Structure 1
Amino acid sequence: MTPEVFLAELQAAEDDLEKLEALGAHIIDGGAPSMPFQPDLRLQGMALDDAEEGMTFAMNLANAWARSYRLAVFRRKIRDGYSGPVVVSEGDSWFQYPWLLDDVIDNLMDSYAVLSLGAAGDTLENMRAGAEYRQAISDQGAEFFLFSASGNDVLGGGDLSKLLNVYQPGMEMADLIKPGAVDQTLSRIEQGYDAIISDALSLSPGLQVFFHGYDRPVPRSDGKWLGKPMTDLGIPKNLQREIVGHLIDRLNQRLDVIATRFPGRAHHVDCRGQVGTSINSWYDELHPRNAGYARVADLFLAQMHSAEGVSPGIVVPPMDFELSGAKDVEPVTPLDLALEAMEQDMHALVEEAIIGPEDTPGQGAHCPCCQGDHSFGEDRGHHLTESDVRLVDEYLSVLSARHEPDLERRRRARRHMVPDDDSRAFERILGESNLFPVNYLSRGASKARAVAKVQLFMRGEIPVGSGSGFLVAPGLMLTNNHVLPSRDAARRAKAIFDYQDDDQYQPMPTQSFQITDDVFFTSDRNALDFTFVSVRMDNEHGASLDDYGQFALIEESGKAVKGEPVSIIQHPRGDRKSIALRDSTIVGVKDAFIYYSTDTEPGSSGAPVLNDQWLPVALHHRSVPHPTIEGRWIANRGIRISQIFARLRAAAAAGDSQAAKILRLLEADPQDTTAPVQPDPAPLRPGETRFIPALDATDVLAGGAAGGAQGPAFESNRWNGIDGYNPDFLSSRVPLPLPQGLANVRQVDGRPDLPYMHFSVVMHETRKLAMLTACNTDGASLRRLDRSDSWRTEPRIPLTAQVDNAAYKHNDYDRGHLVRRLAPMWGTEAEAAFAMSDTYHYTVCAPQHARLNQGIWLELEDYLLEWAEDNDARLSIFTGPVFRADDPLYRGLVQVPADYWKVAVADGPSGLRSVAYLHTQKNLIPTVDEAFGDYRTHRVPVHVIAELTGLDFAALQPFDAAGGGFEMAGAVRVVLGREDIGF
């Protein structure tokens, strides 16, 4: 969509929210911000002739859309009879991040009518000079004025290095700060705040003003505004975090002082600690992800509700910060370092570039290197690594070669690869014709379906990097080693197909398929930089990988010759599928590589380089840097398909079974349905696949298991008069933490839970497992009765709504008690026996691998009960799985959760104390060596469990031992023993 069309449609939309939302879908993240708090937002497909001016113009379009959309929401809310306080907001991208993120104001608009004047990239100086808020406050009779400012100002106009000294060995954080520069910047900010607050308060005697000072962001190794400026100054990573934390603390300290000058009317909302110290808590270096924005908004809500005399309903625990330095408050954990190392590793070789005509010496054009020794001048190589220098030398030798080795043999081979019915094909290869059969584009569009975005994930569903890849056999994908360097990376990745626009420029519905490591073969990035990896043949939505076709890999050399045009189908910057169509030629071939000048960007790695018959000539993997101009590029390089075959054959001859399997898949006739296709999907555990044929009917009906026979179901009237979990069991009420709107809850007789003796179970409507168990435990009257019972089905819900013994026969899966057998066994002996029998229902268990159920998880449960017993204390325990759409299906019966959580709450000397635990493979472990390798349990903040499960734990967050966030020392820790449990 062009800017002109966008503006015209924006003006025509007026207050039509549906039309405005459709327009918003055209806003994308360009990935190259020009100001610290100005994201690079632009229109999809919009060309930027001048980078700086173009990005500013594109950002203005995005801001215009956001203002129009929010104004329409505001007007609709007023028309619908809104009677609460009117809010006027002004600010930068923490208050207005158009479309891509749900920022602070997006969250507040659910509760208030907000007239938003914000603009991503705005500065305190601009807000003060424009003073738009004056008219808005007066016209609307606003009761609240919110503003977010100083992000650009505190970073010195976008140049953090102005505030810092060059690092010298032995320097500490205080030595690196330029105190005069920092004080001058903060004084300028303080004056701006004073002026705006005084001005706003003069407009209305009842106005309340709220402002904030951001959270401590996480510098990134490639971050333009924090990481790179400090790295260029030589500042080590451990000091980078201290510096950023110190500057944010200094800013908040000034804002505290400002608030005291307007007692009762100006409020500093201290956001520190709400986003998190992990790199994956942040969308980029300066903007939180949605969950962080939501927590910041909750702080505003709490103070705004308090100011209007309403019970806030959201209790935010007080937080204490040391302003002298962040070292003790924000430790750099091994997890953080592992995540940063992984991020650096993923980007280490992703050098991609737009190759402009001024950069690329072409045939017949003036070549800047052809000055005798091809030295590019005296400064050649000053910014290049040793490997870059070798790469440039190789490219220049290819460029200057008059005759390509074996050129005539390659041309003869190339002639045999053109279709018989395309009489002009070889003329095009020689550059003598530009006429194509009309089916050229339709064939290319069909082939392009086999190209996918390869998305890597960390901590479950958090994306951490992407590349491109393409199918080359049924269930087999080819990409780069630097995109998928290991089996672990493969297991955490998905192939996303149809991520592109249709003929109407509308996004197509995408389909994601799990990448597995059943077939995996790779060549080191410093060698040939390729990876073959298997992809599941179907996904959770029933889509088939067969629908996307594949590219044929031809081993014979000669698929492209010097001077022949090539195309690349790719996902630049992880965005929608694009094609660089015949816009460059083969510069030459050298050893295992082929050089060309097709445009690419980060995210293009792993794309196919294609000739006019849509045959892969090479696997794209990187760009060639300009020898003398940093940030400029002169060519791109790919790995020849023939050389990839040679590497596979050498490995197969040496006994590598994976290489041999891949060769069989590549050589199979795609029309032969008897040929080996997709290998077994990734194992759920060693020796067992995700999809195991269902047991036959007699086996399922037979019941019985290693742990005892399946008993007959009780009568449903067994629980008449049984209330289940008691929310008033402790000194303060702790309600059952149900999901909003009872989403996915299977209700029984009008109740959201199944009541048992001293505990309740909330069943998931479709997963057939408990989403939540809630148990009251009285340590003063626990009874340790001998274990004697059989597992039973639950009579109050259909058999088809629960998982019975068929999922536990002849395997290593335990019926993992979600309510520990001993936990509800208290009271009279009859009550304890009744409760023990209740825990032996299939609704109270989930399939847990023996290493989980019998390891640290069991020790954790035992310790909690022993603590309650030793202290005669009451304890409420909530437990459940983390449900994900990609949880593996087992035996066609149940999707097996990989992660489990537990929240324990008890009365302590100073009131309630809650502690949360997460037993995870996907959320907090930076690497996973095996699908079911060594299990780890982490102690985490309660809000993490709420975010993962969608359950409402708001009542417990004020009593969270972790302090409400990742930011507190010790908030996230591996549970290795009783000293880590928190009770």
Structure 2
Amino acid sequence: MTQQITLSELKAKIRDIDTPDEEIAAYLLEASEVSDAFAPQVRINPELVDDEGVEADVAMRFFNAMSKRRRQKRYQRKIESGWTGLRIVSEGDSWFQYPFLLRDVIDQLFDDYAIYSLGAAGDLVQDMLDQDEILQAVRQQKPHVFLISGGGNDLLGDGMLKTAVHPFKAGRPAKDYPNATFGKRLKDIIGVYRSIFTALLAEFPGLKILCHGYDYARPDNARWLGKPMASLGIKDKALQTRIVAEMINRFNAALVTLASEFPGSVVRVSCLNAVGDNWHDELHPNNKGYADAADKFRSVIASMFGSVTEFEATAPLSPGKEAMIDAQDLEPQAFRELVDTRGRELLETPLPPTEDEGRRKEIEQDISQHFEKISGGADFLPASFLYRGADAAASVCRVNLPGGSGTGFLIGTSKFIMTNNHVIADKEEAREAIAEFRFEEGGASLMVNLDPDRFFVTSKELDFTIVGCDDPVLDEFDPIPLLRNPSTVTRGEKVNIVQHPRGRPKEVALHNNDVLRVKDKVVWYETDTEPGSSGSPVFNNAWDLVALHHAGWIENGVTTNEGVRIAAIVSHLVARQHSEAAGSPGLVQLLSTIPDSSPHLGFFDIAGITGASTQEVEVPEYRGSLEFADIGFWNIEHFNDAISDMRVNAVAGVLGHLSLDAMGLVEVQKDAMDRLIASLQALGQSYDYKYLNVRGSQDLAVLYDSKTTEVNISAKIMNRHKSAWAATTGTGRTAFPRRPLIANVKVAPNTKSGEPVEFIMILLHLKAFGDPQSKARRRLAAEILTEVIADIRDTEKLPVVLGGDLNETLNNDVLSPLTDAPDLFTLTTDDAADNALSYVGARYRSLIDHIVVSNDVRMSPISGDDAAIVRLDKTVTDFTRDVSDHVPLVIRMVSRDAPLQIGDAGKA
């Protein structure tokens, strides 16, 4: 007999992913009174669970959120255990995510595959598209198959069935009952499916997608089917069953038609007649019914992949926007210099350097018109354009790999081939690769092996690889020169791409390809590329090598391609030569072929790529961007009024480089902050701060860029919770020896039409030490903060970002009230699992600084993660001695919904 337990004990069982769902289900009941059509809710069984005073709706939210989280944790454990079978990402409604009480389709399939589940009971297909979870999950998990279940709630949820069918009319056949509203809803659902499939397959053309249209649900005088139809006068149960079957048939037929638009990629799995009599209610199968439906999916998957048991993860042939390099806009003066330089070279007119934005725009217009030789836009070019282009194109090759192909080209001499890091990531891949020259229409190709043992250099950050090759047959080709000069192209010019799209024979996209934007490390352009174009050379109209093509994406109908600037790659190579102990002979040989030098040394050159020191090359660093709201937290550590001017200036240099919109600072005092602001202003920065005086000399402050950001300490919120800050543990210890700073932060958008990012920042510095009393303090503080955040979100209707020095690691349950709250996310959880550090002092090095956000915070990834721990101790000399024994944590919040305005005047 099941013994009564407390709600806390039940939650502990749920958090333990080894506790079977069936054991948890024994303590739960269906909450049918609050369930929607395909959104079943569960609640505790009051006879078996003491709810400890928690309201039932809070419990229901917890159970549904944790059902999804348990699956994801089980998936992660399976992957970390060395899983080599099929990987699947699933998204869907209650057929794929029925919390605890039933073993749904995904539960039935989980033992056979590694399934990363995004499903949530009640999801609308429009929600699935809007949340953008699907594309992010496929990018991160690289599955072989994507499963989706949805549409039922869009058609039937919230009593909508009554509006989707005609009222009863004697003699009306079942097929005529679904009305125009049903047809419109079905069309909308298919449109959303089409958008999801198109986006996935554009980036992952090898992905297999499986959808389904349910089985013939059975009206049973219940709230979803039987009663709505009875209210319309349709009371005959047999007629009800035929009407439902008609709607299910139409849905399945629409999915079949949609799948035909994506031959070989999308399959509609037929679950019709799979469930039979095994129904749990009007809409959901029972465990046996779900098992039979799962067999349909299992059969289709088997037909696609056969009996193979080990698989390589599916990877995109060419990355999309997620691979966009974290590049910075050029400073206005640097951009004017670039335009001046290009104007002098292209227009052959002596132009003095200009400080005037209007003159810069005139030069840009002249450059653009330079390429229109005849009024009306006819593109006449000298015949030499073709001759030089043919020579450059000859050095371009297809890079063949066991898992696909990309593009590469000879550089410097006939001994080096360049491509992307995501094409050839390491020496092992290079050994398996073959460079295929002359693979073009009407020619016989020439195969060449690569020689990574002779030379190999790569950078994931700049997405390039250079690998050696040593075949005498290549001596007849003219390699493409590397250029250190960054002034090879500007906005308004044209570029040309030579490529092997999708592995096809060599193709070119010539001249009518506008440069949209120039940044410090990348150039954006509009041209025709496809997967397989990765690693292509990008040329200007003089056939100078401008960039290495590496990514492309479509956003709101606008196609943008990104290439890594050759000047940035060369700067990296120069820095690498400085950093290597004896210098690589091959690298010296390659750099000796570069015919020019950088006129912007220090911006485009070594300092712009690797930081101030040429002794560190691959260094973790960070700079804020106008495209985002850049938010950080940092314990500067004893930044008090007695510190030296040298340390103030060192901290100012770090903060100026980080270039954040707002930074929560811990362990500061007012006079030191005033001196910091003066030092930042001397560096040309526009920072100000808001300050909270707490006990002792370890006060709190929010530093912010006054040009982009407004910060106001919220006395209203802080006073509303005054009693919370005075809370004490059972031994009488104060939970908050230093009360939190709570501020309203608003970061302006980067466009006139965009909406600002507004949120509530909670800045924390919890009590240190590892004794039981201190841990009890932090545990109580975490419980209180969870309640405070809930109140803030309820009253202020704003997202919440909490961060600072919590003086606690995540390898215990001290902070579990925060880390386990279903609507909060601890962004440092994955970093803790990877043994990352934020406290970098000589002793007790650990991750004790954290960021927790509410689930409505919209973030942009930083190097593929949701938060960045900026290990400045690796890039700043004597950082722990001269600056701090903690390093900053930063996040990027999306500052607008509109796409980047890459053609804005005044922006490079």
User: TM-score, normalised to structure 2's length?
Assistant: 0.31
